[in-house]
């Protein structure tokens, strides 16, 4: 097991993990922002944070922007979730 990937996973907050796990739950490599809002559940405050977290995940290389509010999970993110 790669120690760096383990550290990244431990540092990843719960909302980030829920967003990334949606890709597996939906059995898709690409999801739209509307679907990613589901990670926030019914709490409007948490749903509002989804946009900020998605932007951070893109900056960290865990998601890629695909245009028209679609995002793809990266290999780096899958590795961080598995380890």
Residue span of the structural domain in which 78 resides = 3-82
6 confidence band (pLDDT: 50, 70, 90): very low
d(CA 43, CA 34): 15
The model's pLDDT over 22-72, given as tens digits with 9 standing for 90+, comes to 999 999 999 999 999 999 888 888 888 999 999 999 999 999 999 999 999
Residue 80 has pLDDT above 80, yes or no: yes
Mean pLDDT of 17-26: 95
E strands along the chain, which residues?
Answer: 30-32, 63-67, 70-73
CATH number at residue 75: 1.10.10.10
Q: In 3D, which of 1, 22, 5 has the Cα closest to residue 75? A: 5
Structural domain total, the chain: 1
């Amino acid at each position: 097991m790669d120690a760096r990937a383990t550290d990244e996973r431990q540092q990843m907050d719960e909302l980030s993990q829920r967003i990334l796990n949606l890709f597996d739950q939906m059995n898709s490599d690409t999801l739209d922002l509307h679907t990613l809002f589901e990670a926030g559940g019914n709490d409007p405050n948490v749903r509002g944070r989804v946009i900020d977290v998605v932007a951070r995940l893109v900056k960290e290389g865990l998601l890629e922007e695909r245009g028209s509010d679609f995002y793809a999970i990266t290999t780096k993110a899958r590795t961080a979730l598995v380890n």
